[in-house]
Structures are given as C-alpha cells and as structure tokens.
Chains A and B, each alone.
Chain A
Amino acid sequence: MSARDELPVQGAEQTLTRGHVGSPDPRPNARRLLQGRGVYIDDLRLPRLAHVVFLRSPHAHARIVRVDSSRARQAPGVIAIFDGATIAQVCKPWVGVLAHLKGIRSPTQYPLAMERACWQGEPVIAVVAQTRAQGEDARDLVEIEWETLPALVDMDDALAGNPVLHPELGDNICFQREVDTGGIDQVFAQADIVVEETFHFGRHTGVCPEGRAILADYNAAEHSLTVHHATQAPHMMHDIISRHLDIPEANVRVICHDVGGAYGIKVHVYPDEMCTAAIAMLLRRPVKFQADRMESFVSDIHAREHKATVRLAATKDGRILGFDLHDLTAIGPYSVYPRTSGIEGNQVVNLTGGPYRHSHYRARMQAVFTNKNVTCQYRAVGHPIAVAITEGIVDLAAQRLNIDPAEFRRRNLIPDDAYPYAFPSGIRFEKLSHHQCLERLLALMNYEGLRADQAQARERGCYRGIGLAAMIEVTNPSAAFYGVGGARISSQDGATLRLEPTGALTVLCSVTEQGQGTETVFAQIAADTVGISMDKVRVITGDTATTPYGGGTWGSRGAGIGGEAVLQSGRALRANILEAAAAILACDRATLEVANDAIVDRLSLRPLLTLAELGRICYYRPDTLPPGFQSELMVTRHYVPRDYAFAFTNGIQASWVEVDTETGFVKLLGHWCVEDCGTVINPLLVDEQIRGGVVQGIGAALFEECCYDDAGQMLNAHLGDYLVPMAGEMPDIVCAHVQTPTHTSELGAKGAGEAGTAGAPAAVMNAINDALVPLEARVTAQPFTPERILAALGRV
C-alpha cells in the first residue's frame, strides 16, 4: 500500500479539509483555564517549600566591595542567604556563544554576580525564607557596599569603546556580521534614485502575564532534581540543569505545567533560575522563585534596541535594485546563554529586503555590550526591525517616485511563479505567495475606497493614512538555527501515540503548550490520522520524564514540526491498528480502514470492530490472537525539516490610522493581515495567533519602550509606566489566509506565531507617515509617541 493510500489527511497539492484538520475546533484544555483550574508554577503546593528572593544590583555598573548579611540572617523566617561565590561552587558558569556566529564573544556569566554587577537588576544575593514576604523583609536588611563604576549606556559610546566594559575582550563588540553581494557602490551611484533613512527602535520586553517561575525540588537520597518550570524548552533546560549542576541526566526531570505567556521570554537560561535550582540542592528541599512584576522588568530579557540606517536604490520606473544596511544593536553586558544575543541582529541582516526582488545587498551589523539589561530572542526575533526598515524605505522610495505604495509593491514583490528563489545573499525560499497575499489584502480592506476616504478626510483637515507592510518570516527552524553552532537545543521533535484499551488515544509530544493551542492541533492531527474522534484524544506535553525528546515551543515550530511528528506517528499507529484488526478478524489488512473509532470495511465503511474491542483483545486477551502475533499499539516518530534550513512564510499587513495633528495622538481605525502559513490546521487558533501578534506589534509602534537614564537606570520598570497595549485602543483586526503548504512535510504547515508581531509596527509606521505626507512630516523612531509626532510636525 502506498503512503498516499494510507494517508487520509492530505495529498501533496490538496488543501486539508477532511475531519478536524482545517476546522476551528475549540481547545479542550482551555476549559480548565476558564474555571481558574489551570496550574501555573505559583499554584503548586509542596511540603517544606522555601521561597527565594533576589537582591538585585541597584546600579548599572558597580563593584561589590563588601556584603554584610548578618542582620538579614537573624530576620524571622530566614532559612539561608547565598552569595555568588557559594552558588558558583555548585553551579558551573556559562558563556553565551555559538560556533556558527563567527567571532561572537561574551564574558563568563555566573548565577549571582561575583565581584561586579553589570546591569541594574542583575541578581547579587539570594535570600531564602519561609515566605516571600519574609524573604523581602530580610533582603532589606542585607547591606552591600558598592563602588559605582562608569555606566556604558549609549550604543554609539559602546561602539567607540568608551569605555570598554569587559577589558579582557579589548572592545565592546559582541558580534558583527557583514554581507556583501558585491558591486553595490556602483549600483547605487548609477541608480535613478537613492533614498536613505535612519530608524530607531525602542527596547522592549515581553511582559508575560505570569512572571518567570521555577520550583526546584531536590531529593538528596537519589541525587535527583525535579524542576517545575515555566519554560518553552523543557528538554533544553533538562540538559542544562544536568550539566551545570552536575546531576546525571537520568536524575533530572523538568515539568512544564500551564505557562502564563512566554513569547520567547521563557526560553532562555536565567541566572536567578539556575541559582534557584542550585539552592534546592544546597538546602535539600523544594525552593521556588516567582519573579514579581518589578523585577521582571529588569531581569526578563529585553529585545529590539536598534539603530539602523538603510539605503535603497531604484530605477525611475520603480524597480528596486538593492538595499544597503547598517544596523547597530545594544545587547547588555552578556550574550544570553545558550541562544546568544547575536541572533536578533543576524536576523535583521537575513530578513531586510526579504519580500523584494533585488540583485544587490550589503549589510553590516554590530551588536555591542552595554550596562543595560541583557537582550535576547523575543517573539518574531529581528523581524519587526527588518520589516520596518524595509517597508519604511520602500514607502519612501514609492513616495519619491510618486508611485502608489500598493503598486510599488506589485512591481517589486518576488513573483509567485519564481520559486524556488534564492537571494544573492544566500537566503532560499521554497514557495511564497506575496502577490496573492497583496491582492487579497487590497480587496479585503477596500484599498481604493480607503484612498478615497483619505482624500475626502484631508479636505476637512483630517489626516488619515494607510500603511502596508509585506513580510517574510522564519519558521520551522532546523538545526541550522542553533544545533550547528554547538548549542544542545533539539531541532527535531517527537510524538508518541498510544491506543488505550478503551479505544482512547494518548498523545505525548515534546512540543509544549503556552496557550497557542499546540495540544489541540496535535489532537486534531492525531484524530484525523488515526481515525478516532477528538473527544477520545488526550494530549500530554511538557514533561521530560514521559514525552519524547524535542525542542519545545519557539520559533513557530510547534505545529509544523511537532504536528508532523504526530502525523507520522499517527500513520504508523494506524498501520499497527490495522495489523491487529486483520489478525483479530482474520482478513486481509488491505480490506480494512479505521474510521469513527472503529475498524470498518474499506469499501462499504461498514463497522467491523470498535477500537475499544480491539484494545480489549490486544491488551487483555492476546491469548486469542494468532500464534506469534504481537500487537504494537504505541508508536513514536520524530521529525525535523531537512530540505530547507527554515520554512519561510510570508504575508502582508495594512494599518489604517487617523493622526490628530494637534495632539499627536494616533487612532487605529482598522488593521488587516493576510498571511500564508501553509496548511491551516485550526483557523480559530491561527487567527488568534495573528491578532495577538499584531497587538504586540502595535505595542511596539505606539507604546512600549524600556526607558533608561544616563546612569543605566530603567525608569519605567513598572506596569503603570511601561505601556502595554490594552483593549481600549486596539482595533478589530481582519485576518485572511493564503495556503501554500510546504512540501518539506506531509502536513504542509508552517509557523504562524511571528507574522503579527513582525509586520504590525511597520504597517502602523507607514500609515502614520502616509497620513502626514501633506504636512511633510515623517516619524522613524519607535514608539511613535504624541511627543515624537508633534516634534515631527514642528508643533513642539
């Protein structure tokens, strides 16, 4: 029997329509969350639980002269107090570099600062107490004498080596990369037009509703550590905890319960979390660290602080010739382990100019050390920067050439029939659908109608604008992302499917759930592939003791990679079920099919044997089966993409805004997104991924920024002052999909988690600038605050 005959869900060129795949099934696991019956780390109740709080550096850069914890040790409820040297005895330090990021450097980082603190918020002393409040009381009694050192805050100062933060490194450059396809100076010199702009991007952080959390439970008798962790990558953490705390891999277990938002924030190694695990060992008891909101702002990774100058050359008939980019980004005092802080800038280089056909590209990116909080990969890594740079300069070129922005894109987007396509820089695309997406978007938003409305509004002094942002997104990452650089981060994922005696199906998958709906998607795929109803499928994720080995959830890989593992596992299980059924029914396996929780006759679909009966016989009465037959009702399959390093997706967004030119306030009137993530397994979930991502992107465009003063103090480390998008200002967002399944998997799914965040800031920026065209004003520094817009308008 060929694979095609056996695979019920999809032929190579077909859209998935049958059964659950493709249908907007609600998430079964949402029910417990709707009743407050989820379990986040802080909800766990363990005997003898101790709470750890961290004294964090109040200075951006300071030497620790003397620590006196004597008063603190006497405070009620205090169990222990640890400094960096003590923790370093049980937890090995780390260096956040990857071999394939040539030249990347970082100093050694310890769980607690050793002699010097390098950012405001770096953990310095750990206070363990019976309650959080007692820990905080004692923390207030720890006395530290500091010698403040000059704080390196500005990224240009950092680039100039003024001063050098880590003298042993010689300068402040963590990582730099150059791409040059050659001949660019000549192309730019001869081009009809060249436009240039410098864009500024504010630092962001993820602001997970649930702060970072870890509960480490050490069993001294077994020298084993069970770590309950709000993480996206339990197996990665398993490996790291094992190696850095010197506990055999088999003695570590990482369990990931419900996670209150992650967005990339919870996929990194954090010094305070490693310290918590070390303390559990030292104290031989369960210890919990639950980050509170204020410390989250100075200890969760930050991202996106960039200054990028870009030039675009084009012909007078509006054909893009090339892009020339210089990007500078500040990453804090350490490159974050194990993914490094070089990836975001690397992505900016990879993605800038990405949707457009062009022949010449030169990029130079430098990531520099500063005395601000560390930065690392946060949702849509690098994409919002690259898309804003690209779409901002593309709009400027269109404006200069007096070509409508939609038409300019029509002339330059890579044609839909040009695939496979490769840039001179080496990026390869399997198949994208830019033009289909563009035309769909223009129809969906009634582009011509909005242009007419815009013209009428201008007549009455009302400034409205349309912003378009085409994008490409990196999803389904292979080992090319981290593994080739030496990081022990799995790019393959596995799924185990087990038919239970009652005919139910248990799915265990190495991809985790943070609310995106991965478990639901797996249930849908498993149900369809095996031939079982969805209410009989139970999905288990997030436990390194029970699930197959895998990477977890990041880089929009859950559905595309984990889903394919489930599909392959489901196919294999179905084959085994048919083997068993043929043995029980004493008939030719080829005449049988699994459908609706039963073995049916393949031609008539007449039920022959329920899966419950099959399970009963195979598990409890195998003595009745033919001699020598052994049923295998549990199978495991793994999957990793091999043909392409990444499954690139594409899409386009549009924003429709009104700018109050007296106040500088921007009102979001509408937002549209047409996206191609290949096979849409569950449109309900994909749309919410898009919408949530768009709103995160709008946050970047209008509200969010980690503000620092010249001394390296974060000024708005508080949810009242760091402005996140709330319901009152957000628009309704219209989503639509073009489906171009990837042929690298049978499922055909690509990732959907990055698109919204990738494109929204650029769309909003272009919309604001479009509104301001008649006033000859432009904004290029995110977030676009009333102050910045009024300044651009010359009103303040």
Chain B
Amino acid sequence: MKPSAFDYVRPSSVDEAIAHLEQFGDRAKVIAGGQTLMATLNMRLSAPELLVDIGRIPGLSGIEVRGSLVSIGALTTHREIERSALLARHVPLLTQAAPHIAHAAIRNSGTIGGSIAFADPAAEWPACCLALDAVIVIRGAGGERRVPARNYFHNLYETDLSATEIITAIECPITPPARRSVFLELARRQGDYAIVGLALLARIDADKLHEVALAFVGAGPTPMLATTAMTALEGRTPDAETLHAAREALTRDLDPGPDLYTSAATKRHLAGVLLGRAIAQLMSGGDQTHGTA
C-alpha cells in the first residue's frame, strides 16, 4: 500500500519545526529516521496532513560527554550508538542493546529520539533509558524541559511528549566502571521485536548487588522498571533464595499483555528466566559480551 497524501516541510531549526507543530497540532507528524513511521504511513494506519522532517536540523545529532553525563542527540542513529567508542566506555548498556535493534539497514536510519518519541514498549531504547535513569530533553514553544525517563512513559504509546514538542537529546548518566550492565532479550528471530527483554545494571561488592536497576522490554504497556525486584535484589547476594524473591517480585512489577504467539503467563515466565540469566551473566563479568539469551 501507498501512503495517503500529505504535505511535507523540512525545517532548518527546532523553533521552525515547533512552529509547524503548533500550527497543525495532531494533524502533523514528526519524521526523523522514519523507520517506524514510514511503515505505518505505507499501511495507512497513520494519515497526517503534514509531515515535519526534522532530519536535517543542525545540532540534534552526535554523542558527547558533559560532566557526569553523556548527551546523545535525538537524531543519533542506532548505528552510531552501536559503533560509538565513547558509549562503549561510558554507557556500555547502550552498546550491548544496539545490535538487538532490527537489522543493519534500519539501524543506519533509525534514531534514538524517534524510538523514545514513539515509545514502543517492545523497543530497546525505552527500557535502557529507564534502567539508566536517563533524562529526555524536550523542546516546545515554551522552551526546553528535562523529563526523567522514569516519569516519561505514561501508557501504551502515551508519553510526556505533546504533539507540539520535539525531543532534542537523551542524557545518560555515565555508568561508573564498577557498575556492570547486561542487556538480554528473547526474540524468535534475529532483529525481531523481543517477546521479553531486560536491561540490568548493578555494582557488585563482595558478591552483593548494589545500585540495582532493572527494566523490561515487552512486559507491559510501557517499558517496565521492575522496582520491587530491584528492592528484592538490592544489597543482597543473588543466591537461589534472593533470585526466587526477585522473580516473585516481578509478578507485581510487570504487566505483560499477550501477543500473537505468546501468552501473558509465558511472558512472565520468560521474564523470570531472563532475570536469572542476566544476573548470572552480571556476576560472571557482565558487560564483556553482547548478551543473547
């Protein structure tokens, strides 16, 4: 199928883009890498009057360290993140997660800002941002605001971002060397949206887990921060008893819906399996490898 007709503008600044959005409201759509939007346009699931292409606005792309943060421009592609030496050193979770995103050609075009704006709970970056306690930098007519990822995802495809705002950057705290990370997911085929996935960070001190952060992919209407399980693990040695408690806690933390091939109960089961595997991998060295379950 071909998209319905729409008008197209390619603003050269964020302010210009926002002016278009202010004028058209929800009759406009922002396109960046377009890797999700284009498919929905082609299927006529979305039929905007105006497409606002922010893809060439200067200053929205690139990865840089700012003090204790790494700032990732919204237009930075999955591929640039995957290949960034800076991120591999400072936020290795993102390096670990990137290869799970779709396929090479899509990683070349798709952007982190687009992923966060669309907020698919089955996508990798939203869960990573939760686990990392990242901040979403948003610009609107009223200026810039910084929204912690943990306040950003409201419901299925509903976020703190309004129809007249644009994400300009994602700010991730630098992960200290002592804090390890693991990203795992279970996808039927390489590059598919995962049935379930998780992002885990923790510091290990004398076999005990500290500063545990655990976020799940595909386990609810939004990416899900598993706060109860995090508490169950915090400050403990991940022995069988602790792991059992953490898995039990997931029943409160997660709210998966069924997909075509997998029931909610199976997703819960798989989330528990992944948790065990992630912790085992974390204890044995974690971020040395790109995790596959």
Task: Report Cα–Cα, A795/B192, bound state, in Å.
Answer: 24
> Does A665 interact with chain B (Cβ within 8 Å)?
yes
Task: Report Cα–Cα, A137/B5, bound state, in Å.
Answer: 8
A729/B190 in contact, CB under 8 A? yes
A785/B262 in contact, CB under 8 A? yes
> Does A440 interact with chain B (Cβ within 8 Å)?
no
Nearest to A785 among chain B residues (CB) is B261
A723/B293 in contact, CB under 8 A? no
Q: Which of B2, B4, B266 contacts A787 (CB 8 A)?
A: B266
- Considering the complex, which residues of chain A in the window 118-134 have a beta carbon less than 8 Å from any beta carbon of chain B? 132-133
> Does B44 interact with chain A (Cβ within 8 Å)?
yes
A721/B1 in contact, CB under 8 A? no
- Considering the complex, which residues of chain A in the window 665-683 have a beta carbon less than 8 Å from any beta carbon of chain B? 665
Nearest to B3 among chain A residues (CB) is A133
Task: Report Cα–Cα, A140/B189, bound state, in Å.
Answer: 35
Flag B39-76 by CB within 8 Å of A: 1 or 0 each: 10001100000000000000000000000000000000
B188/A796 in contact, CB under 8 A? no
Question: Is chain A's interface secondary structure helix, strand, loop, or mixed overall?
Answer: loop
A292/B269 in contact, CB under 8 A? no
A790/B261 in contact, CB under 8 A? no
A663/B270 in contact, CB under 8 A? yes
Flag B254-265 by CB within 8 Å of A: 1 or 0 each: 000000111101
Q: Which of A136, A729, A796 contacts B269 (CB 8 A)?
A: A796
B265/A728 in contact, CB under 8 A? no
Q: Which residues in A have their C-beta under 8 angstroms from that of B5?
A: 133, 137
Q: Which of A136, A137, A663 contacts B273 (CB 8 A)?
A: A663
| Size bracket of the B interface | 20 to 34
Flag B12-56 by CB within 8 Å of A: 1 or 0 each: 000000000000000000000000000100011000000000000
Q: Which residues in A have their C-beta under 8 angstroms from that of B4?
A: 137, 140
> Does B176 interact with chain A (Cβ within 8 Å)?
no
A71 CB, min distance to chain B CBs, angstroms: 15
B189/A786 in contact, CB under 8 A? no
Q: Which of A663, A715, A795 contacts B260 (CB 8 A)?
A: A715
Q: Which residues in A have their C-beta under 8 angstroms from that of B270?
A: 663, 786
Nearest to B191 among chain A residues (CB) is A728
B260/A716 in contact, CB under 8 A? yes
Nearest to B272 among chain A residues (CB) is A662
A726/B190 in contact, CB under 8 A? yes
- Considering the complex, which residues of chain A in the window 725-770 have a beta carbon less than 8 Å from any beta carbon of chain B? 726-729
> Does B195 interact with chain A (Cβ within 8 Å)?
yes
A796/B266 in contact, CB under 8 A? yes
B266 CB, min distance to chain A CBs, angstroms: 5
Flag A273-296 by CB within 8 Å of B: 1 or 0 each: 000000000000000000010100
> Does B149 interact with chain A (Cβ within 8 Å)?
no
Q: Which residues in B have their C-beta under 8 angstroms from that of A662?
A: 273
> Does A703 interact with chain B (Cβ within 8 Å)?
yes
Q: Which residues in B have their C-beta under 8 angstroms from that of A292?
A: 1
- Considering the complex, which residues of chain A in the window 410-468 have a beta carbon less than 8 Å from any beta carbon of chain B? none
Q: Which residues in A have their C-beta under 8 angstroms from that of B1?
A: 136, 292, 294
B264 CB, min distance to chain A CBs, angstroms: 10
B260/A707 in contact, CB under 8 A? yes
Q: Which of B3, B260, B266 contacts A786 (CB 8 A)?
A: B266
A709 CB, min distance to chain B CBs, angstroms: 10
Task: Report Cα–Cα, A364/B217, bound state, in Å.
Answer: 47
B263/A796 in contact, CB under 8 A? yes
Q: Which residues in B have their C-beta under 8 angstroms from that of A136?
A: 1-2, 44
> Does B278 interact with chain A (Cβ within 8 Å)?
no
Q: Which residues in A have their C-beta under 8 angstroms from that of B43?
A: 294, 718
A790/B269 in contact, CB under 8 A? yes
Q: Which residues in B have their C-beta under 8 angstroms from that of A796?
A: 263, 265-266, 269
- Considering the complex, which residues of chain B in the window 237-293 have a beta carbon less than 8 Å from any beta carbon of chain A? 260-263, 265-266, 269-270, 273, 293
Q: Which residues in B have their C-beta under 8 angstroms from that of A785?
A: 188, 261-262
Flag A695-733 by CB within 8 Å of B: 1 or 0 each: 000000001000100000001101011010011110000
B273/A786 in contact, CB under 8 A? no
Flag B137-164 by CB within 8 Å of A: 1 or 0 each: 0000000000000000000000000000
> Does B186 interact with chain A (Cβ within 8 Å)?
yes
Q: Which residues in A have their C-beta under 8 angstroms from that of B39?
A: 720
A723/B273 in contact, CB under 8 A? no
B266/A790 in contact, CB under 8 A? yes
A787/B188 in contact, CB under 8 A? no
Q: 15 A-B pairs, CB-CB below 8 angstroms?
A: A133-B2, A133-B5, A137-B4, A137-B5, A140-B4, A663-B293, A703-B188, A703-B189, A715-B260, A723-B192, A726-B191, A727-B190, A729-B189, A796-B263, A796-B266
In addition to A133-B5, A728-B189, A786-B262, 4 A-B residue pairs with Cβ atoms within 8 Å of each other are: A662-B273, A663-B186, A665-B293, A790-B269
Q: Residues of B with Cβ closer than 8 Å to A?
A: 1-5, 39, 43-44, 186, 188-192, 195, 260-263, 265-266, 269-270, 273, 293
Task: Enumerate the 7 nearest inter-chain pairs by beta-carbon distance, A residue then B residue, closest first.
Answer: A728-B190, A133-B2, A796-B266, A662-B273, A785-B261, A787-B266, A796-B269
